[in-house]
Copies of this chain bind each other. A is one copy, B any other.
Amino acid sequence: MGRSADQTGVPQIAVPRLARYLRLLHRLDKEGVARVSSRELADRLGANAAQIRKDLSYFGEFGVRGVGYDVKFLLSELSRCLGIDRDWSMVIVGAGQLGSALARHRGFRDEGFNCVGVFDRDGGTVGKKVAGLTVRPIEQLVDFIRENAVQIAVVSVPAESAVEVAALAVEGGIRGILSFAPVRLPATPGVFIHELDLSTELMVLGFYLSQE
């Protein structure tokens, strides 16, 4: 449900698949596998080999027919394409249950997403420690983003605060927002917004179950 002008020709729907290929390639590399065919990738992922070849072709001609892909090369190319050959700094706004869980989420740091600040508006939460960081008052958000050149804001506040929080992050110069708030944030030129409402995800499940 993200949106952005896309300059690569990669359809947005392919990006999560690329992330999955990347995860598998990491595993193969650890296992000492040097080359892999699209067929083997497909088998390991429960996916379609033609789809995989098509997805990888957006980034150039990686594979050699009959020989397969060089795992290390494909890994580095995909990492670069997905922007995880570098570190990103991010803040989490909203230090409730979900925000705290996100701040402590192992997988983020592993992929180069470093949480450098946690913010909340609640006086009872400000000053507490979350994942080793002291929760700061929301009033400091704009300056903090600016001074630390923070690139990503994760928004985990209630729906009624999300638009205001996003506006503050944009004012500070944020480049991307991942929002868990069940509300649509206004489009902002130059800022990529990715919305992920957990209730919507359950509704998707409910939809399929109610078809039976």
Interface of A toward B, CB cutoff 8 Å = 1-2, 4, 6-8, 10, 12-13, 15-16, 18-20, 22-23, 45-46, 80-84, 86, 88, 90, 96-98, 100-102, 104-105, 107-108, 110-113, 151-152, 175-176, 178, 182, 184, 186-187, 192, 194, 196-212
Contact = CB atoms under 8 A, between A and B. Distances in A.
Q: Which 5 A-B pairs have the closest CB atoms?
A: A83-B210, A83-B206, A97-B101, A107-B199, A101-B101
Contact of A186 (B46, B97, B199, B210): B46
Contacts of A151: 209
A82 B209 contact: no
Contacts of A107: 182, 197-199
Given A46-B184, A111-B202, A111-B203, A208 B16 contact: no
11 contacts: A15-B203, A81-B210, A83-B203, A83-B207, A83-B208, A84-B206, A88-B206, A97-B100, A97-B101, A100-B101, A111-B206
Number of copies: 2
B204 A19 contact: yes
Nearest to A202: B113
Contacts of A201: 16, 178, 194, 196
Contacts of A208: 2, 4, 6, 83, 176, 192
Chain B CB count within 10 A is highest, among A6, A97, A186, A202, for: A202
